Structure 1
Amino acid sequence: MKIVLQTERLRVRHMAPSDAEFMLGLLNDPAWHRFIGDRGIRTIEGARDYIVKGPMQMNARLGFGFDVVELRENGCPIGVCGLAKRDFLDDVDIGYAFLPQYGGQGYAFEAAQGVLAHAAQLGLTRIVATVRPDNSASIRLLEKLGLRFERMIEAPDTARQLQLFVINILNANKKRQSKHSAVFR
């Protein structure tokens, strides 16, 4: 599996069918259902199909997608983070989700910061993120990463409203220098 980037504590790598069990757990986490949406995936085979037709296909087509975030020390998968090009957005967006036991430890910030630096390496200049207005933890993380609220949009698959955050990563690159800087492979 191709390693996209490494940080001090994390490795971000392309997703593979062998990640199906991990993804099944993440896709059925109550926070995923609440803030991202229920994908209706309840089996290992369904999770494998989701991986192949979603993240793997996007990575093959665009050179980026949602990737597995794992701990460098032991290779344990703890979440996903990456970039996506969605039909309803003009720009590439960043997204992330982590298993609940890995929340509050700075992993999401560390992974997302690395992904934004990787986006700059890919030549992307403007990155967006969508978030439900009641997801205060994710909003705080986006703001800490330097994204700013731009406007409300309607999610295409539901009637719910989403907040659209944006960052010009060329201008923000200097602000993201920290001890968790990404090392690219």
Structure 2
Amino acid sequence: MILETPRLTLREAGAEDAAFVLDLLNAPGFIQGIGDRGVRTLDEARGYIETRILSSYRDHGFGMWVVTPKGEGQAVGLCGLVRREILPHVDLGYAFLERYWGQGYAQEAAGAVLAHARGVFGLATVAAIVNPDNLASCRVLEKIGFRWVDIRQLEGWDQPSAYYCA
């Protein structure tokens, strides 16, 4: 376990999370709001976990963590920190299965990750990028202390992103 909030636990991902990651990455809201990662099989999901998530833990000491409600073993989302070469600061990111939207999980998990980024990793500034049309996600960021900076067309991204910092 990496973090605990009143309702959630955040832990490192592993190969056993492949079915959850496959579902999340292929959810319409994920594809529309974040992008299509091209992961279509359990083997590809395990590869994604290894190359995108576990490698970040090894390289940076942080990454995207699996979010589960306390008392339940079922993963409901990912939330964590990502180091992207295209951004000047570490990026806070999150994504949840659509059936768990509207329950405050994103705000609770993201707020805990932001506090962890500052307290444990000593990050004075944390960035966040979001599809500007995703007003709910923009509100989550603002509620936990992020401030809108500008709209950026990031290299390698199909659509512009709203850029926030906290």
Work out whether the TM-score is over 0.5: yes
Q: Which residue of 2 aligns with 1:142?
A: 141
Deviations 1:61-90 (A, max 9, x none): 110000100111122100000000001001
Structure 2 Cα separation of the partners of residues 28 and 66 of structure 1: 17
Q: Which residue of 2 aligns with 1:23?
A: 21
Q: Give the counterpart letter for 1:156 in structure 2.
A: E
Q: How many residues align?
A: 165
* 1:158 CA drift (Å): 2.9
Structure 2 Cα separation of the partners of residues 136 and 58 of structure 1: 28
Deviations 1:66-116 (A, max 9, x none): 010011112210000000000100100100000111111111111011101
Q: Secondary structure at the match of 2:22?
A: helix
Runs of 5+ unmatched residues, structure 1: 168-185
Q: Which residue of 1 aligns with 2:103?
A: 105
1:91 aligns with one of 80, 89, 105: 89
Q: Which residue of 2 aligns with 1:129?
A: 128
Q: Which residue of 2 aligns with 1:45?
A: 43
Q: Which has the higher contact order (CA 8 A, sep 6+)?
A: 1
Structure 1 Cα separation of the partners of residues 104 and 132 of structure 2: 21
Q: Which has the larger radius of gyration?
A: 1
* 1:159 CA drift (Å): 3.9
Q: Which residue of 2 aligns with 1:161?
A: 160
Q: Within 5 Å, give how 1:1-80 maps onto structure 2.
A: 3-80=1-78
Runs of 5+ unmatched residues, structure 2: none
Structure 2 Cα separation of the partners of residues 98 and 61 of structure 1: 24
Q: Identity, % of aligned pairs?
A: 44
Q: Secondary structure at the match of 2:111?
A: helix
**Higher strand proportion (structure 1 or 2):** 1
- Moved runs in structure 1, 4+ residues, more than 6 A? none
Structure 2 Cα separation of the partners of residues 155 and 138 of structure 1: 18
Bigger shift: residues 155-164 or 55-64 = 155-164
What is the root-mean-square deviation in Å for CA atoms of aligned residues? 0.8
* 1:155 CA drift (Å): 2.4
